[in-house]
Structure 1
Amino acid sequence: MRIGTGLEFAHTGVTSTTFKGGDDLLSQRQQFDYAVGDMGINLYFMSAMTYLLFFYTDVYGLSAEIAAGVFLVARIVDAITDPIMGFIADRTRTRWGKFRPYVLFGPVPLAVIAVATFTVPDFDEVGQIIWAYVTYTLFGVIYTVVTIPYAALSAVISNDYQERSGFTSVRMMFALAGGTIVSVGMLPLVDVFGGEAIGFQWTMIVFGVMATLLLWLTFRGTEEGAFQDVTTSKVSFRDSVRVVVANVPLWITIALFCLGMLAFTFRFSTAPFYFKYSMGREDLIPLYMLVTLAVMFPGLLAVPWLSRTYGKAGAVRVGALIAMVGAVGFYYTPVSDVWLVFVWGSVLAIGGSPIMVLGWAMLADTVEHGEVQTGIRAEGVVFSTASFFQKLAKAIAGSGIAAMLAWFGFVANQEQSQETVAGLLFMIAVCPLLFNALLFLVSLAHRLDGRRHAEIVRDLSERAIVSQGDHSN
């Protein structure tokens, strides 16, 4: 529900918000149009998350140590650009709104650089290393230009606590659909297009075209209608810092996001190595990816109910407990028992569903919390700050996985030592177990529940009425 008075709300002259829409909920078509954008985004996200390290070591020919450096540098640069992009987006004023222009103009350059990232150039060894650093770093920067505004849209198309959980669940279903396409279809498509380097390049061309069209559909079908800035002044850098620093629920949500990302990255990015080298079943990689993503769909359907029953933080705790059970089961399953590997991997995946959905919904709630504290509404800064730390976690995970592979003695395309096999099990099971245990503990500190959020929205509406009265006198 989008609560609205139709009145202006002004605090300090920095920003002013009009609450629009009355009691109308987002239509199914509006939810669909917003959600399909994340399907396109996840064609890139899952390609890089699941297969880029594998591509670098087994196709491109980089050592695990060099690949670790590429991941670390590219993702740190990527993370640093997030707050900058959030600040730029909050200051953007166009006839399309603050965030939608980036969803319109960003997808084409993103597709081009994604293809370049999965291209093996005809250079010498040094040239290829430089190419990897440059292309993956630029990919991260342009990815930020598109995804930060896309994520921030969720805070301006609705301000209802439970509705955000609902349409974010729809969004995550499409995100999973994109991830499933990559997980199941990428390696077969690589083979169809000629295998190895040329196969990866053409596969990314296909994904780039698909992602561009899906993001353009989001642009066409959304509007920044729940809130409108009605003052001409823009959010300054100092104002942006104020919004973030004092927002305790934001920092708790960021911590949850980071732990969820660490758990997801370790279990998903390690899977191709585990199946190829520990189990000797490289042929099962696409099927495992399909199954562990497919089982998350019913988990996503259950998230709105879990949120209504236990609150968003409570639902995250339920997921963490399920994931920990799955991680323990996976650890004690022998590599020869393929059936149980799939079962416990699926349980681990289902446990990751709540934080995947509710992390984004909880972030949107912190926008109003920051606004009632400071009088400043800055969706872009809130989402970009969270994205900065999420990507920092992804950088730590990606480079950490590559570094751990090197530490455990991994050598691509060779039979691995017992130490390496044990290390792969540690990475795919024990690491997610530890991250989910921390996720459970941190979620206990989250206090921005539905009742508190409703009080905040009412407070903002009442201030808007007072502000309107002051303006009319």
Structure 2
Amino acid sequence: MSKIKELKEEPYSLKKAASYSIGQIINNASYQTFSLLVFTFYFTIVGLNVILITIAFMIWSVWNSINDPLLGSLSDKTHTKWGRRYPYIMISIVPLAIVMFLLFTPPVSLGIKDQIPNFIYFLIIIMVFEFFYSMFDVNLIALFPELFITEEERTSANAVRMTVYLITLIITFGLPTIFIPDFSNPKYLTQYHIFGIFIAALIILAGVCFLKFSPKEKAEFRDEYKNIQSFKETFKICVKNKTFMRYLPAEMGMWYVIGVTTTIIVLYGKFVLGIGEGETIYIALMLAIGFISTAIFMNVLWKPVVRKIGTRKSWMISVFIWILVISPFMFIQDRFQGIIVLFFFGIGLSGPIYIIDLILSDIIDEDEVNTGTRREAGYYGVKAFFYKLSTVFVFLTIGLVFTNIGWAVYEPEKVTSEVIFGLRALMFIFPAIALVISLLVMYIYPLHGEKLAIVKQKLQKIHEEKRSRL
């Protein structure tokens, strides 16, 4: 055992779960900043036509869907004294921090206002961002089912992880309001630059803390790389897994809703709810209330509900609630009503957010029982291939709506009733359709009840055999 000191096993503890959860700071500081601000920045500050933005995001989504499974497969096949995941996490942190600054320094920063140079820069920088973000995220997520094996460990660690996730999410959404008085006013371009520097520094600091304090990979999985097939074979294995493929559309629907609402909330807040210059704090407050609510209901409601009735039924109930609570987006008029709606928004969101990794961990367990090999990063990567394709639908939806309501180019002085309806539809009608699909898909999800219990029993014996060979 001394020969594998770097991979020694640690028992579950709150400290172990919390130290692993430091990674959520990096995750949120990068991707949530990207989700909240990048569309608004390039549409309103840089002045790109929404059609060009849609084209760029569609190309990015295709790249995104290929990038993740490739990195996942590469990670599964890696063998170092630090394990399979940590080398990629270490490599990705500094480049990701640098890219976070570069996202907000397009050619318009140098006085170049032509559409094509800014479009090319936008396309390249979002693809570079996605490469380094995925390198970090795929490996961070793949650590979860390796570090926390039993259902009890996973539910406890997941509650800690998602609480940290939601707290840092609130902070991440609040930070831009300190630096940028109006997210859609071109005169605040310099403030975007300053904010980019701050986020880059935050990522590096959190990265140092994660690498220093996070738990190490388990010893019994150190030789898993020997059994990992090529990316092509891994992809085939994953897509042939009927349980996995039946689950994917449900998660795609969830991410579609999150993608649309976080992208549009800035413009919805300004033009529907009347949030003006110097009041961006209300955008942050709405989001903060929503995610505080998510954190509360995730722990006090969905954690005990999942333990009592399982992941499948809990998902279906939470998604049904989610559909109901977003309906007021069609008629609310001011920021205070927005805060109330976002609070109830958290009741629905908290269920799927809490459950997603529990379900995928079960699917990975079932695959290990069937094949003898754990391929976490492969499954997370292939899952990302499909659910990140939902981003195509996010920006295709936004592009089509904006084009049809006469808002292909940002013109704040030309906000018609059609623009208001379009923004409302993007916050409710399209998300509701996606959630109905998610609910129906989860209804036919097969890995639950007695079938899941049998998988857990077989898995325990497999892990005992692997530990006996150390």
What TM-score comes out, normalization by structure 1 length?
A: 0.88
> Residues 254 and 390 of structure 1 are in contact (CA less than 8 Å); yes or no, is this contact kept in structure 2?
yes
Residue 20 of structure 1 deviates from its aligned partner by 9.1
Cα distance in 2 between the residues matched to 1:104 and 1:93: 15
Listed as ranges, the matches of 1:180-219 within 5 Å are: 180-191=170-181, 196-219=188-211
Give deviations 1:270-303, integer Å, cap 9, x for gaps.
1111111123223232222222222211022133
Residue 134 of structure 1 deviates from its aligned partner by 0.7
Cα distance in 1 between the residues matched to 2:94 and 2:465: 45
Counterpart residue identity of residue 163, structure 2: M
Give deviations 1:63-89, integer Å, cap 9, x for gaps.
211111222212221121111001100
Q: Which moved more, 1:353-362 or 1:236-245?
A: 236-245
Cα distance in 2 between the residues matched to 1:295 and 1:191: 25
Q: Which moved more, 1:439-448 or 1:217-226?
A: 217-226
> Residues 142 and 380 of structure 2 are in contact (CA less than 8 Å); yes or no, is this contact kept in structure 1?
yes
Residue 369 of structure 1 deviates from its aligned partner by 0.9
Cα distance in 2 between the residues matched to 1:166 and 1:231: 26
Cα distance in 1 between the residues matched to 2:219 and 2:362: 13
**CA spacing shift, 1:137–1:305, aligned 2, 3 Å:** same
What is the match of residue 140 of structure 2? 150
Listed as ranges, the matches of 1:300-311 within 5 Å are: 300-302=298-300, 303-311=302-310
Cα distance in 2 between the residues matched to 1:431 and 1:464: 44
Residue 156 of structure 1 deviates from its aligned partner by 0.6
Question: What are structure 2's unaligned runs of at least 5 residues?
Answer: 2-6
Counterpart residue identity of residue 142, structure 2: A
Cα distance in 1 between the residues matched to 2:459 and 2:273: 57
Cα distance in 2 between the residues matched to 1:199 and 1:131: 20
What is the match of residue 4 of structure 2? none
Cα distance in 1 between the residues matched to 2:461 and 2:325: 47
Cα distance in 2 between the residues matched to 1:444 and 1:162: 25
**CA spacing shift, 1:239–1:408, aligned 2, 3 Å:** same
What is the match of residue 314 of structure 2? 315
Residue 33 of structure 1 deviates from its aligned partner by 1.0
**SS, match of residue 221 in structure 2:** strand
What is the match of residue 102 of structure 1? 88
**CA spacing shift, 1:148–1:224, aligned 2, 3 Å:** same
What is the match of residue 11 of structure 1? none
When the two chains are superposed, the root-mean-square deviation of aligned CA atoms in Å is 2.7
Cα distance in 2 between the residues matched to 1:324 and 1:107: 37
Cα distance in 2 between the residues matched to 1:189 and 1:404: 30
What is the match of residue 159 of structure 2? 169
What is the match of residue 10 of structure 1? none
**CA spacing shift, 1:50–1:124, aligned 2, 3 Å:** closer
What is the match of residue 367 of structure 1? 364
Identical-pair percentage: 19
Asked if 1:408 is matched to 2:405, the reply is yes
Cα distance in 1 between the residues matched to 2:421 and 2:463: 60
**CA spacing shift, 1:230–1:197, aligned 2, 3 Å:** same
Cα distance in 1 between the residues matched to 2:461 and 2:69: 31
Counterpart residue identity of residue 429, structure 1: F
**SS, match of residue 295 in structure 1:** helix
Listed as ranges, the matches of 1:345-424 within 5 Å are: 345-410=342-407, 411-412=409-410, 413-424=412-423
Cα distance in 2 between the residues matched to 1:88 and 1:234: 13
Q: Which moved more, 1:389-398 or 1:27-36?
A: 389-398
Residue 195 of structure 1 deviates from its aligned partner by 6.2
Give deviations 1:287-346, integer Å, cap 9, x for gaps.
222222222110221332121022111221221122111122332x3415x433322232
Cα distance in 2 between the residues matched to 1:467 and 1:57: 53
Cα distance in 2 between the residues matched to 1:150 and 1:77: 20
Residue 39 of structure 1 deviates from its aligned partner by 2.0
- Aligned residue among 265, 268, 280 for 1:271: 265
Cα distance in 1 between the residues matched to 2:239 and 2:177: 44
Listed as ranges, the matches of 1:51-200 within 5 Å are: 51-121=37-107, 122=110, 123=112, 125=114, 126-191=116-181, 196-200=188-192
- Aligned residue among 279, 297, 308 for 2:295: 297
What TM-score comes out, normalization by structure 2 length?
A: 0.88
Cα distance in 2 between the residues matched to 1:468 and 1:133: 47
Counterpart residue identity of residue 79, structure 2: R
> Residues 71 and 398 of structure 1 are in contact (CA less than 8 Å); yes or no, is this contact kept in structure 2?
yes
**CA spacing shift, 1:387–1:346, aligned 2, 3 Å:** same
What is the match of residue 448 of structure 1? 447
Residue 231 of structure 1 deviates from its aligned partner by 6.4
What is the match of residue 428 of structure 1? 427
Residue 245 of structure 1 deviates from its aligned partner by 2.7
Counterpart residue identity of residue 431, structure 1: F
